Chain A
Amino acid sequence: MTSQSTTLRTPKVSRRKVLAGGAALGTGLALGFHVPALAKAPEGFRPMAKAAGTEVNAWVVVGTDETVTIRIARTEMGQGTLTGLAQLVAEELNCDWKKVRTEYPTPGQNLARKRVWHDFSTGGSRGIRGSQDYVRKGGAMAREMLIQAAATQWKVPVAECKAVGGAVVHEASKRKLTYGKLAVAASKLEPPKDVKLKDPKDWTIAGKPLKRLDTTDKLTGKQLYGVDIKLPGMLNAAIKDAPVIGTPVKSYDESKVLSMPGVKKVVKVNATTVAVVAETWWQAKKALDALPVVYEDTPNAKVTSADIAARLREGLDAKEAFVGNKNGDALAAIAGAAKKVEAIYATPFLHHACMEPMNATALVTANKCEVWSPTQNGEGSLAAASEASGLPLDKCEVYKMPPGGGFGRRGRQDYVTQAVTIAKQMPGTPIKLIWSREEDMMHGYNRPITQCKLTAGLDAQGNLVGFHARISGPSIVAYQNPSVLQGGGDIRMFQGFWADPGEAQIGYTIPNLLVEHAQRATHVPVGPWRGVNTNQNAVYLECFMDEVAKAAGKDPLAFRRALMGNHPKHLGVLNAVAEKAGWGKPLPAGVHRGIAQHMGYGSYSAAVAEVSVDNRGRVKVHRMVLGVDCGVAVNPDQIAAQVEGSVALGLGAAMYQELTVKDGKVVETNFDTYEIMRLAAFPRVETVVVQSGGFWGGVGEPTICVAAPSVLNAIHAAIGRPVRSLPLKNVDLRSA
């Protein structure tokens, strides 16, 4: 039984109760404000930490009605972090899970309280692993304070009291006080200096496959997203950045659109961008489409995908490259090897295509800037609001809206900057900026296109004696944050190839190894895309491993195992999926298996895919078994949900997607040309959660990188030749 099921069973009662108590409910926060049947943002809709009750500490608010509101600093964008973090706090707090609510503090509240809620940024699969320690301590400290409050009231030793299910009990005297009755006294106590956290093996709330806390409103249309905001007097904006990326606007003729229905203003947002503000968004978009804009000429207008491919190709053999991992002398070992294997792989630019297009709402006055932002980084939105409005941080505020998908895209604040810039030109009027899907597709921060040249040497017995990988392509860090480049290089380019353990270590011990990156930038913006470089690197490494195993005349699993003796956790998850999938056991005629493993975000992942390819070259993925060892599992069902989601995103990309460039513009501007995996193509997915314990790995991203290579290796097995470039839709897969 979960609070989810409780609220569903008695929606009206709980809602009324919430209203009466004035409590706000995190993502369900909108609940208390709902006008029946319509999800309208009420006047003054400003979601923040304001639950009714007593704040025992920054993480825990207890109401007189025994509700426990847990503050969540990280963003919930579908990945389940909100529920997982609440489970961790509730576990230490020993409260009643059915009484748990959640709410987001705002970035402004965090600033005013000296970042008591720590980091808001939600990326790199750090939502739980990056905050588990302090949120659990928050729950445990609140529990200790509640126990102390009861002990003081009863005048008994603390050691004789314990906390169970939202109350403190003193067994000897059979006395009991609920948290709701203790909260005020507890909140006045000095927090304990230190608390002992529970061993995960003793957990009863965390570690369990509990239902999500934020589902109810997503089933009725009541969940309010950024695009749904409606504020009194609000106007809507549609926006257009230069189709040829990075091209300044020369002129535009606003007289052509100012008399169109509803149109209020045409705004130059920055050097390359114009927007139309109108009463409704549809009116704004129609006017924007009709607005004549003339752009400067730039060299970007000559760039095509073929130019970019040639530039990357040159990097594969260029003299200069940044070394990411090196041991022994790979080039000499390969030169002297009995057998040499070489291949060039390529993966395209990819777009996030979040279901909810980019948007933000801003209200700027002379001394205040407020932003409603669907963001993965609330504090980033706050900084962007301050910069764009010219107001100090403490005169700005950001209300985090639950993003309709993030996948890395919503770590950027470009849409916040735009909304504030427009709103600043119309002081006192709230402006909701929504990007069209076309705008969204043409102005993303895309997964970098890369190519990789791989070379391996085998000795006469088929042992791998040398391995060389040269990656060529743009670096995200160089594009977005060049000041953190290390020695001129971007170490994240090598995710899954690292020598160091703990985050993204290569799982093979190879006597002579060299992994390098030749940075080749383009004019196309790049950014982190769920899994970031583990995606490309796992395709390169794992598909090439199958090529090398084949050259050595060995089974792909056996070949890998022989190299993994020093990497028991990598091997453990590989073995787990192999066993669950029945590696080596007979399959129906025409069905073939592929396997892959990789590490990223502090977790170990592996997959086995069962695939058939028909005589017209059409691929059918029947079944996939994916395993992840994230050390400690906070909610196994949500881990499974993330694994399933990673297959849709990772495999969908491998099958259909590429962002190409013609005349400097993005070619694929909507889902008719940027195809997304749909239900019919989704394989049966089985998830194995390996919990080897003792560490906290990420969950949202780790498994995405093994989805594509396991399927590609199965295709290799089916058609007898490797697939070295993606997406599959461009590759002739008919058997020779």
Chain B
Amino acid sequence: MAKLNVNGKPLDVKVDDDTPLLWVLREQLGMTGTKYGCGVAQCGACSVHLNGEVQRSCAIPVGSLQATNKIVTIEGLSRDGSHPVQKAWATVDVPQCGYCQSGQIMAAAALLKKTPKPTDTDIDAAMTNICRCGTYQRIRAAVHLAAKGGGKSGASTAQKKA
């Protein structure tokens, strides 16, 4: 039995303590936006925010978490895709297959929270998730765009950040 706080909701989950948070999110909680790519903390497809820091949820046994740990998943980043990172991603048309993108977006959101105006070097250091489709150039552009507060969700309506 684990007590979790996911996207602002306290939850009780009946599950073995050694189950990785990734699989609890996906299987017990039905939040499938967080993806399995490697299971060994290499690819970042499973990235979530844990107390505001980006973490690879495949490497976090659920038993190591407490109800005070605040977990945010892609489903909780914004209600409707209006987070500045999501908007920038849409403007730059980043995704190809899209499978890695939840993780990329969570990593970028965490980076921008800490470093609102990242340099290319900051981006190199922070954005270490694998994208097998090779969307890296657009990821870099979209991070810069989000940092500038850009990223319109409509071509004719320059929206303010949500």
* Interchain CB contact under 8 A, A684 and B137: yes
What chain B residues lie within 8 Å of A218 (beta carbons)? 95, 98, 101
Check B40 for interface membership: any CB of A closer than 8 A. yes
Task: Determine if B134 and A221 form an interchain contact, defined as CB atoms under 8 angstroms apart.
Answer: no
Complexed CA–CA distance, A672 and B130 (Å): 12
Is the beta-carbon distance between A1 and B95 smaller than 8 angstroms? no
Interface pair B155/A355, CB less than 8 Å apart = no
B85 (CB) vs chain A CBs: closest residue: A219
Residues of B in contact (CB 8 Å), total: 70
Hey, which chain B residues are within 8 Å of A40, CB to CB?
A: 30, 32
Interface flag for B135 (CB, 8 Å): yes
| A78 and B98 contact, CB distance less than 8 A | yes
Question: A residues within 8 A CB of B114?
Answer: none
* Beta-carbon contacts under 8 Å, A1-36 to B: 1-2, 4-6, 8-9, 11-12
Contact partner, B90, options A219, A356, A402, A679, Cβ 8 Å:
A219
Mask for A36-61, Cβ within 8 A of B = 1, else 0? 01111000000000000000000000
- Contact A280/B27 with A212-B93, A649-B134, A671-B43 known, Cβ cut-off 8 Å: yes
Q: Does A563 contact B (CB under 8 A)?
A: no
Q: Which of A8, A38, A644 contacts B154 (CB 8 A)?
A: A8
B87 — nearest CB in chain A belongs to which residue?
A8
Interchain CB contact under 8 A, A8 and B27: no
- Are A38 and B123 in contact, CB atoms less than 8 angstroms apart? no
Q: Chain A 581-603, CB within 8 Å of chain B: the 1/0 string? A: 00000000000000000000000
Instruction: Please state if A641 and B23 are interface contacts (CB–CB under 8 Å).
Output: no
Query: Are B96 and A685 interface neighbours, CB within 8 A?
Result: no
Write out the residue numbers on chain B whose beta carbons fall within 8 Å of the beta carbon of A212: 93, 95
User: Does chain A have a CB within 8 A of B4?
Assistant: no
Q: List residues 72-114 of chain B with CB under 8 A from any CB of chain A.
A: 73-81, 86-87, 89-90, 93-102, 105
Chain A residues lying within 8 Å of B63, measured Cβ to Cβ, are none
Contacts of B124 in A (CB 8 A): 679-680
Q: A residues 656-680 with Cβ under 8 Å of B?
A: 670-672, 676-680
Contact yes or no, A280 B23, CB < 8 A:
yes
Quick check: is B127 within 8 A (CB to CB) of the other chain?
A: yes
For residue B90, which residues in chain A have a CB less than 8 angstroms away from its CB? 4-5, 8, 211, 215-216, 219
Whether A8 touches B81, Cβ cut-off 8 Å, given contacts A282-B19, A355-B100, is yes
Q: Which of A80, A356, A679 contacts B127 (CB 8 A)?
A: A679
B75–A37 CB distance below 8 A: yes
Q: DSSP majority for the A interface?
A: loop
Q: Is A221 in contact with B42, judged by CB distance below 8 angstroms?
A: no
**Which of A165-173, A222-230, A479-487 is the interface stretch?**
A222-230
Q: Quick one: which of A1, A355, A676, A679 contacts B97, CB cutoff 8 A?
A: A355
Q: In whole angstroms, how far apart are the Cα atoms of A646 and B135 in the complex?
A: 10
Q: Which one, A2, A223, A354, A434, contacts B98 given CB within 8 A?
A: A223
Contacts of A38 in B (CB 8 A): 30-32, 75
Q: Are A641 and B98 in contact (CB under 8 A)?
A: no
Q: How far is the CA of A434 from the CA of B27 in the complex (A)?
A: 13
Does any Cβ of B come within 8 Å of A261's Cβ? yes
Task: Known A38-B31, A78-B98, A355-B132; judge A221-B155 contact (CB<8 A).
Answer: no
B150 at the A interface (CB under 8 A): no
A649 touches B132 (CB 8 A): yes
Q: Is B68 an interface residue (CB 8 A)?
A: no
Are A39 and B32 in contact, CB atoms less than 8 angstroms apart? yes
Known A221-B75, A227-B32, A679-B123: A405·B135 in contact at CB below 8 Å? no
In the complex, the answer to whether A219 meets B105 with C-beta atoms within 8 Å is yes
Whether A403 is near chain B, meaning CB under 8 Å from some CB there, is yes
* Assembled-state Cα–Cα distance A221/B25 (Å): 12
Contacts A1-B154, A219-B86 given; does A648 touch B98 at CB 8 Å: no
Cβ-defined contact, B19 with A78, below 8 A? no
Are B81 and A671 in contact, with the CB atoms below 8 A? no
The answer for the CA separation of A437 and B99 in the assembled complex, in Å, is 14
Query: A225 touching B99 by the CB < 8 A rule?
Result: yes
Please tell me if A436 contacts chain B, counting CB pairs below 8 Å. Answer: yes
In angstroms, Cα B96 to Cα A647, docked, is: 14
A220-B74, A644-B137 as given contacts; A78 in contact with B97, CB under 8 Å: yes
Chain B window 24-52, contacts with chain A (Cβ cutoff 8 Å), 1 for yes, 0 for no: 00111011111111111011010000000
Besides the contacts A78-B95, A79-B96, what 8 more A-B pairs have beta carbons closer than 8 Å? A39-B31, A78-B97, A227-B32, A403-B97, A641-B93, A645-B135, A679-B123, A682-B134
What 4 pairs between A and B have smallest CB-CB spacing?
A221-B33, A648-B134, A404-B99, A218-B98
19 of the cross-chain contacts (CB-CB < 8 Å) are A8-B87, A12-B80, A38-B30, A38-B31, A77-B97, A78-B96, A78-B97, A216-B90, A217-B98, A219-B86, A220-B78, A223-B98, A225-B32, A228-B32, A354-B132, A355-B37, A434-B36, A679-B124, A679-B139
Residues of A within 8 A of B (CB): 1-2, 4-6, 8-9, 11-12, 37-40, 77-80, 211-212, 214-225, 227-228, 230, 236, 261, 280-282, 353-357, 402-407, 434, 436-437, 637, 641, 644-649, 652, 670-672, 676-680, 682, 684-685
